[in-house]
Structure 1
Amino acid sequence: MRLGIIISLNKTIGIGIIKDLNGGKIRFHVESADTPFFVHDLVSYEIYVIESGLFAVNLNLVIAEYGKEYSFNPKNKIVN
């Protein structure tokens, strides 16, 4: 599993971009507009290689020890 931060998410078309901890940008797809992800969320994911490059799959929110989600966006979920 790799870690990264969601830097872009368009729920209308179901496409987003993760910036991984190495600075690379990786695309991902969401199935539903009701996805629990937001821009600036910290996520874990797996990488698949497709013709156009890397693609992130099996995204999961990273949860703090005390059960709250990590987010770097003060308008969304904040870990206090």
Structure 2
Amino acid sequence: MKSYKGTSINVHLIIKQKQLSIMLRTGIVVSYSHVKCSGIIVDCNNQEIAFVNKNADQIFSRHDIVRYRIMQTETGLQAINTAVVFDLNGKSVSLSLV
């Protein structure tokens, strides 16, 4: 009986994680470590969200505008499937002046 309740709770949490990750969000990369392949995104609510870059072909820089999905983890919100936003000319969109 206890294992059934535990399984039921786990299934509920997995469904909740999937629901959180359905919507795409937009944010700004405020810090990124090329060594650790991880960084911090700030969204429109000034909420800081950690992300890990698992795609070696994707390069992030500070002030890049990114789109991502979100997932709740034990340590807080984490951005997943993070990707740089490109303009109509194929250039990455950034708030950097350079």
TM-score normalized by the length of structure 2: 0.68
Number of residue equivalences: 75
Counterpart of 2:71 in structure 1 is: 48
Per residue, is there more helix in 1 or in 2? 2
3-state secondary structure, aligned to 1:69: coil
Q: How does 1:1-80 map to 2 (within 5 A)?
A: 1-31=24-54, 35-75=58-98
CA root-mean-square deviation: 1.6
Unaligned runs of 5+ in 2: 1-23
Aligned-residue sequence identity (percent) comes to 37
TM-score normalized by the length of structure 1: 0.82
Per residue, is there more strand in 1 or in 2? 1
Larger Rg: 2
